[in-house]
Structure 1
Amino acid sequence: MIKRGNKMIKVDNLSYSFPQKDLYNNISFSLEDGQHCAFIGRNGNGKSTLIDIIMNPEKYMFDGKLDMDPNCRIGYVSQFSEIEKIKDTTVYEYIGTEFIELQNEITSICTQMETSMDIDTLLEKYQQALDAFNAIGGDDFESIIDKKLNLANLTKHKDLMISELSGGEFKLIQVIKEMLSNPDLMIMDEPDVFLDFENLNSLKDLINSHKGTLLIITHNRYLLNHCFNKILHLENMELQEFDGRFIDYNLSLLQTKIELQELAIADNEEIERNAKLVDKLRYIATNNAEAARGRSLKARVKIQERLEARRIKEPFLDIAQPNIIFETDIDVEDTIALKVNDYSVSYDEMLLENINFEIQPTDKVAIIGSNGTGKTTLLRAIFKNNSDSIEISPDIKMAYLSQHQDETLNESNTILEEFFDVGFKTYTDIESYISEYGFEGEIVNQKIGSLSGGEKNLLQLAKVSAIKAGMLLLDEPTSHLDTYSQIALEKAIENYKGAILMISHDYYFISNCMDYVLIIEDKNLRKMTMKKFRRKIYANHFDRDYLEVEQKKKSIETKIELALKDTNFELAKALSEELEELVKLL
């Protein structure tokens, strides 16, 4: 039994490298019982690999030390769904697998005891099974299942087959199943990907209700702002830990950035002055054979080396964002880019019925709706343009980003090979282009199938950008993307001159980028202004003033960044104090 407050995991000076990439350089952190920890960092930095090292240390040859409580039981929710393996199981049977198996084992042992002569062995087995049964709250297990399903708004799904669930609903069921196994440590790798807002809110409630320790990889700003009391941040092979909320961590990073940039300027000025002295002394020493001249030069060079060694490094502040730019060669402002007339689609049942809407050449529109309502089907039909109900301007070229990444990327290609399909002529041209998206060095020769989900989405964005289309069809473009890439994508959309039709469940992203939304409800689609959309979301899920405070926060952060660019540190400090007061309201 792990005692409350004990260190469940302690990592000291851990280093690990792949043949083509260094991942960690002497990283250290600890995780205590009861903490809810968010694990953040750029795509491809090795977060999922570190999780796997914790779960399966014997698989890896790493330097350093990893200590775990020997009694620690780990539960795990992968970012990948394995719904096919259990689709013919009911929700209750899937969630209660361990409970049902233990219940059957206890019944079987009791039956054997009626006729067996070896009672002592069976009693020992019975006690072991009973202990395991009690450890998961066996006597109250059905009641516990009902409470968790109710918390996730999935009570009515208890007797459904797994195959009848949407992807988002199944993800929540996976989370509930692992929580009910009562692990000491529960690890989740991007559990929020593709969840609609209702299911995301249910995930938030499940996380916050969990009494055990959580370690969750996520880039979702809603969860980050509402669920965690510890942050692990992995950047540039180094790791930083912070006890507190994500919003306070971000403020701390910004305040540190102001302080370090001011110090860095002073350091740089001193290094520059010393470098001039070194050059002067070297010139004198070259033209003068006196030993004292040489000693002065050596002393000054050593001073310069110490200054360079101490030069301020910013592994958690100097974080490269991808340079995403969407361009279009087409100017068709006087026409309708897309018109959909009486579009319907059904599978086993009607998904969408008599849908009608049109998109102007510069409209930026989000399609929203619950998981499984036909959004992706509609977007794919528009891209394929194979329905009489869909009219696309002949002057408009389209580009498509799919939530199913292997639909647009050939995972057996290397990164370099993939871009010959979009018109690049030489490897040099491709290398220059994709370096803007953070793909440099040996990674360009890796197979796409070996990349992280976020890296694959960045590659999709790079391909979309290279097409220079007049209309972008984006299906969950922020999925798997780290927060820095999300912000870069927001800027690219803001500056894009063409039309965008986007599926997203990311409230922040929609609010920051879109002109209006098309909401799918009851098989129909209706237009909604951003003002009404914000009101709808916030009425159900946020405090009344949350939106206003968030918008003010973003405005002040932008002003701080501009002040730092102008090296106006006094203004930056004054703004950070204003920001600190605002953060207290959140």
Structure 2
Amino acid sequence: MITLKNVTLRRGTKVVLDDASVTLQPGEKIGLVGRNGAGKSSLFALLTHRLQSDLGDADIPKQWTVGEVAQSMPETEDSATDYVLQGDVRLAAAEADLVAAEASGDGHAIAEAHMHLTDAGSFDARARAQALLMGLGFRGEQVDAPVNSFSGGWRMRLQLARALMCPADLMLLDEPTNHLDLDALVWLEAWLQRYEGTMIVISHDREFLDAITRVTLHLDEAKLTRYTGNYTAFEMMRAERMVQAQASYEKQQERMAHLQKFIDRFKAKASKAKQAQSRVKALERMEKLGPVLTSADFEFEFREPLSLPNPMLTLDDVACGYQTEGRDNIIVRHISRSVLAGQRIGILGANGQGKSTLVKTVARMQKALGGEITEGKGLSIGYFAQQELDVLRLEEGPLQHMIRLAKEVSPQAREQELRDFLGRFRFIGDMVSQEVGSLSGGEKARLVLAMLVWQRPNLLLLDEPTNHLDLTTREALSMALNEFEGTVMLVSHDRALLREVCDEFWLVADGKVEPFDGDLDDYQKWLLETSREMARAQKEAARPVRATTDGAKSSNDKHSDRKAQAQAKKRLTEATRPLRKEVERLDQQMAALATERSQLEVALASRALTPPQMAERGRRLKQVNEEVETLEARWLELNEEIEALTTAAAL
């Protein structure tokens, strides 16, 4: 079992755990929940011994193998299958033993190594690795492709497959659903439900947590509280505890007021002095309860739009994509749709099919490559970018953003009014002047939401708005969207948000945008049928083709095909060259920051620093983490663009 006993853990000057104790039994599936920045990832670092506790004991059985998803992007020419196979540490150790035994010529050691290989499942290891890849959305021809040929989102899937390949007694999963499509997400749920070891998962997807966890560990105010049940059960039990705690606080307040009233009334009377003094002592000895304060009370609302044009906008034979070096690269084409007042549209489709491209085009962030978009009179668009850097300036603070926005979209507001407005989104005190580049992902997302609310839009375009939001803020967003009187177009992998907000769906697939007749459950069935059809098509394509009777014509056709393929490949290389150069530059920057981060973590864990030195390195560590987060966001965006261009070239 895992036992934490009176553990105190600090990261720089911040106390992550304060006298925390909890016991987790073998085989339990635990959801670790808490606000962004509460310290969930630091708890994972403690369990993997990357961090040491300042006080108390954290015990994990020494013989346990721990598996987790690496956060760094893999850089290797190994095939996807070989890379995933390397995650099986038992198999790798057995193979190393066999190599050593054969080199020494020790027959007994060779026989023993072969026995270990059999125990490690070497006979079907490759098939198991490829099954993991296929489950996570890789196609048949991709399983043997080199790792370096994949974009960022797909490399993160490779990291997840590699972690699942590990025969772990303890599995630690930090936001494993990021970068997954709905079909891969459903497959992962089924796989984790069958997993027999102990699992702790950090996720902000409540449906995912409900499906796979049976214990919830809540990290709040540096304390750990264990609840039996999935996330929905945890919410109900926590709400009940909070009601009871508030009732106890109010009852104690009444008791204290009664004692104080007696003391004030009789402390001057000699006949009652002794009784009054005893009540003073009782009041001093009483353990003071605090009022119930919770981060779940964060809420906001979108203001009523000034007008509701109908239709909001009309798309007539619109083509969306990117223009690179004067050349059009169309991702989605022939879009003819109208967006009406009050619609709630969920946009579905696999990664790289063009969902974000469509939203960016409607949001005027990039020009349509064909057709015409007609906007209704008085249209006011509020755009939440998947990468917040599309709308934020790293060197400015939240207040500077709001001052500039107020000048652009409404009469100039007083600074105090803007400060009060930001306070509603948890930007208080000096935070209003803090550079956006040093804010966490969740804080940046809240700033974008604040800017949206201020603009008073009548059409909201939201591209993965929940990526960096904790569960309570997601709930606040869902409530605000349901009360919004305008139109919503939403791209999200959060099924709970899609179910709660959207009443119709558009499907982006195969270069087209069409209405999807059904709900999310129907979409899941459609994905299953589509994957089966693709598998059948691949089998058909793999069958031998009969030789043509016209040999000369066949040779000419092949020559033309090869020439066309070479030209297409050349155009694609030219189009993606500047993007790949920027990716290489970001890789170098992230590698340097990763080295610095490791050095800082070692220094903070050594306990040889003075308090001022600890504080200085803690601040720098936070800054490094934020810089890495910013660079990774841009890295992923660039690779998504490269993937989109590659997909378009294949159409």
Give the match's secondary structure for 1:70.
coil
- Give the alignment partner of residue 463 of structure 2, picking from 449, 462, 475: 475
- Asked if residue 96 in structure 1 is aligned to residue 124 in structure 2, the reply is no
Pick closer, same or farther for the CA change 1:90–1:523 going to 2, 3 Å. Answer: same
Compared CA separation, residues 154 and 103, structure 1 to 2 (3 A): farther
Residue number among 159, 162, 178 corresponding to 1:193 in the alignment: 178
Question: Contact 1:179–1:210 at 8 Å: present in 2 too?
Answer: no
CA offsets, 1:51-80, max 9 Å, x none? 22322444x5633222232333322215x5
Letter in 2 for 1:351: I
The equivalent of 2:33 in structure 1 is 40
Partner of 1:381: 361
Q: Secondary structure at the match of 2:306?
A: coil
Kindly indicate whether residue 492 of structure 2 is the aligned counterpart of residue 500 of structure 1. no
Letter in 2 for 1:501: M
Once the two structures are superposed, residues 512-531 of structure 1 have per-residue CA deviations (whole angstroms, 9 ceiling, x without a partner) of 112322122332222246xx
In 2, distance between residues paired with 1:167 and 1:269? 55
Matched with 1:556 is none
**Which of 505, 512, 515 lines up with 1:517 in the alignment?**
505
Distance 1:214 1:536 in 2: 30
**Cα drift, residue 218 of structure 1:** 0.7
Aligned to 1:209: 194
Instruction: Give the equivalent residue in structure 1 for 2:374.
Output: 391
Identity of aligned residues (%): 22
1:555 corresponds to: none
Match of 2:449 in 1: 461
- Structure 2 counterpart SS, 1:195: coil
Q: In 2 relative to 1, CA 385–69 (structure 1 residues): closer, same or farther, beyond 3 Å?
A: same
CA distance in 1 between counterparts of 2:254 and 2:207 reads 45
**Are the counterparts in 2 of residues 146 and 155 from structure 1 also a CA contact under 8 Å?**
no
Q: Which residue of 1 aligns with 2:303?
A: 327
Does residue 67 (structure 1) correspond to residue 59 (structure 2)? The answer is yes
**Residue of structure 2 aligned with 1:311, choices 282, 285, 289:** 289
Query: Partners of 1:254 and 1:501 in 2: how far apart?
Result: 32
Distance 2:262 2:94 in 1: 85
- Cα distance in 2 for partners of 1:199, 1:505 equals 11
Query: In the alignment, what sits opposite 2:206?
Result: 221
Runs of 4+ in 1 over 6 A off after TM superposition: 99-104, 126-132, 424-427
Residue 409 in structure 1 maps to residue 392 in structure 2 = yes
Of residues 37-46 and 293-302 in structure 1, the stretch that sits farther from structure 2 once superposed is: 293-302
The answer on 1:299 being equivalent to 2:278 is yes
Query: In the TM superposition, what whole-angstrom CA distance separates every residue of 1:421-480 from its partner, at most 9, and x where no partner exists?
Result: 433877755543333223446766655445543333223222322332232211111223
Specify whether residues 412 and 104 from structure 1 end up closer, same or farther in structure 2 by C-alpha distance, changes over 3 A only: farther
Q: CA deviation at 1:190?
A: 0.7
Distance 2:36 2:250 in 1: 31
Q: 1:536 aligns with which of 503, 519, 522?
A: 522
Q: CA RMSD in A?
A: 3.7
Q: Distance in 2 between matches of 1:324 and 1:131?
A: 62
Equivalents in 1 of 2:399, 2:119: separation in Å?
52
Separation in structure 2 between the aligned mates of residue 470 and residue 81 of structure 1, nearest angstrom = 40
* Residues 40-59 of structure 1 mapped to structure 2, 5 A cutoff: 40-58=33-51
2:129 is equivalent to residue 145 of structure 1 = yes
Q: How far off its partner does 1:215 sit?
A: 1.3
* Other structure's SS at 1:82 match: coil
Could you tell me how far 1:281 is from its partner in structure 2?
A: 3.8
Q: Could you report, residue by residue, the CA deviation over 1:527-561 in whole angstroms, capped at 9, with x for unpaired residues?
A: 246xx22451475799xxxxxxxxxxxxxxxxxxx
CA distance in structure 1 between the partners assigned to 2:475 and 2:257 by the alignment:
38
Structure 1 392/304 Cα, relative in aligned 2: closer, same or farther at 3 Å? farther
Measure, in 2, the Cα distance between the counterparts of 1:452 and 1:132.
Answer: 46
SS of 2:357's equivalent? Answer: helix
1:105 offset after TM fit, Å?
A: 4.9
Partner AA of 1:94 in structure 2: Y
Displacement of 1:376 in angstroms is 0.7
Structure 1's 166 and 128: CA in aligned 2 closer, same or farther, altered over 3 A?
A: farther
Q: Which amino acid aligns with 1:381?
A: T
Counterpart-to-counterpart distance in 2, 1:299 and 1:511:
60
| Partner AA of 1:460 in structure 2 | V
State the shift of 1:292 in Å: 4.9
Asked if 1 retains the 8 angstrom alpha-carbon contact of 2:30 and 2:217, the reply is: yes
Report the counterpart of residue 223 of structure 2 in structure 1: 238
| TM-fit CA distance, 1:382 | 2.0
SS at match of 2:389: helix
User: Structure 2: which 5+ runs fail to align?
Assistant: 323-327, 407-411, 529-651
Classify 1:257/1:102 alpha carbon distance in 2 versus 1 (closer, same or farther; 3 Å). closer
| 1:167 and 1:371 in contact (8 A); partners too | no
**Matched residue, 1:340:** 315
Does the aligned pair in 2 maintain the 1:14–1:63 contact within 8 Å? yes
Check whether the contact 1:475–1:504 (CA below 8 A) recurs between aligned residues: yes
Matched, 1:367 2:359: no
Match of 1:355 among 335, 338, 343: 335
Instruction: Report the 3-state secondary structure (helix = DSSP H, G, I; strand = E; otherwise coil) of the residue aligned with 1:30.
Output: strand
The more displaced of 20-29 and 292-301 is 292-301
Residue 76 of structure 1 pairs with residue 68 of structure 2: yes
Distance 1:373 1:540, change over 3 A: closer
Equivalent pairs counted in the alignment come to 512
Could you tell me how far apart the structure 1 residues matched to 2:489 and 2:219 are? Answer: 33
User: Displacement, 1:220?
Assistant: 0.8
Whether contact under 8 Å (2:321, 2:357) holds in the other structure is: no
Unaligned regions of 5+ residues in structure 1, if any? 1-6, 543-586
| Distance in structure 1 (CA, Å) of the matches to 2:404 and 2:72 | 30
**Structure 1 length-normalised TM:** 0.76
Distance 1:217 1:337, change over 3 A: same
Equivalent position SS for 1:199: helix
Cα distance in 2 for partners of 1:81, 1:345 equals: 32
TM-score (norm 2): 0.69
SS in 2 for 1:340: strand
Deviations 1:82-113 (A, max 9, x none): 26x34x54321321235697688567546744
Structure 1 counterpart of 2:600: none
Find the counterpart in structure 2 of residue 576 from structure 1. none
